[in-house]
Structure 1
């Protein structure tokens, strides 16, 4: 059985993800090699991969399990990132690490490898499992309300952070450009990069949902491990 991470794996019970920003492309290349090595040598039962931000000098390390291993989840990602950036002497900034559980899924019915992984990290105004799930339900309602899914969108998988402070939405797109174009057509919010991918009132409601913060993270990644 492969130890590669796939956000659509229906057997995943727990996920940990962490993002680190690098000062230069050289620093990114330096950190990427040991992260990939960690992903390839994770213990049996752990799924892991490394993704590179296509728009910034940043890396995403993701580990997942088909059983609940809360005691190991955060440490797996924290240790991998710390090991990778140790020789960089201040050229790397770990930005966040979240431990999360599956909380919703959607598929367009389209097939394809999904060249681009888009991660939306939506923080809440205060920790709340109720708000986490209600926002996920709101986005699923918008996705299901479209007569046709946004061009290029293959699937979306939602994970609720264990601390109840954020939601992670991993979506698979045919390309980074397809996601950019969807945002340009459908954005609501303070700018085109951090709005939504649809034009309907249901999509507008996802950005004004009670309890979510306006400052959310939308990043496009490609797999490098």
Structure 2
């Protein structure tokens, strides 16, 4: 069966071979809550759909309009089998309960590098920050080189920001995107970090300047979310 959990996902789970992230736009905070409830109802009334799905988590955006979905699959083949047999019935029921959901995008990733505080396994994140990077055209080597440059900037940071717990960098399978799933103690800690001198959460160093002006860097967006729903096999 399907069990609801408040435990947030382990982004370093060794059996996750295909982490997916998608965004829905629902319009208002009330519809965010209604959609989360509809997802929970739809899934918990059914058996767990596939052994290759290790967990499914939903987050409410601080913009009051969006939902982030994170599903942890063993492989893309497992996801493909789910789409053929179980996905549509769930989509139909959720759309009946909450009409007018806009499904913005689904992106497929592989986790590349993670880092953070030594005590991060004992910390419960109060806020999840998603940094979405897009490059001009596919280039897997550029994706990884940029992430490596971020770690170099973090390691040389003269004024580390307080409140950050961990950062998990994922590279898109299409070669154009990088997603950082960052865990913070609270939204205010992240807001304070952004307000400190420098650009973003980094100081005005040459290493951060290199990250921010990387050749081919097309766009960068930052969004804050709260974990609202976890679904796992019982």
Deviations 1:134-192 (A, max 9, x none): 1111111111112463211111111111111201110110001111111111453xxxx
Q: Map 1:40-59 to 2 at 5 A.
A: 41-46=48-53, 47-59=55-67
Q: Map 1:195-214 to 2 at 5 A.
A: 196-199=200-203, 200-214=205-219
Contact 2:62-2:225 within 8 A present in 1 as well = yes
State the distance in 2 between where 1:24 and 1:142 align.
37
| Runs of 4+ that moved beyond 6 A | none
Could you say which residue in structure 2 is the equivalent of 1:116? 127
More strand by share: 2
Q: Map 1:1-225 to 2 at 5 A.
A: 5-37=9-41, 41-46=48-53, 47-65=55-73, 67-70=74-77, 72=79, 75=83, 84-90=94-100, 92-111=101-120, 112-147=123-158, 149-188=160-199, 196-199=200-203, 200-214=205-219, 216-225=220-229
1:206 is paired with a residue whose SS is helix
User: Which stretch shows the higher mean deviation, 20-29 or 154-163?
Assistant: 20-29
| Distance change in 2, residues 1:143/1:62 (3 Å) | same
| Distance change in 2, residues 1:182/1:87 (3 Å) | same
Contact 1:152-1:175 within 8 A present in 2 as well = yes
Number of matched pairs: 214
State the distance in 2 between where 1:39 and 1:180 align.
34
| Distance change in 2, residues 1:146/1:168 (3 Å) | same
Higher RCO by CA contacts (8 Å cutoff, separation 6 or greater): 2
State the distance in 1 between where 2:27 and 2:192 align.
28
* CA RMSD, Structure 1 to Structure 2 (Å): 2.8
Contact 1:118-1:170 within 8 A present in 2 as well = yes
Contact 2:19-2:70 within 8 A present in 1 as well = yes
| Distance change in 2, residues 1:181/1:171 (3 Å) | same
Residue 198 of structure 1 and its aligned partner are, at CA, apart by 0.8
Alignment gaps of 5+ in structure 2: 230-234
Residue 89 of structure 1 and its aligned partner are, at CA, apart by 4.0
State the distance in 2 between where 1:136 and 1:87 align.
40
Q: TM-score, normalised by structure 1?
A: 0.82
Based on CA coordinates, which of the two structures has the bigger radius of gyration? 2
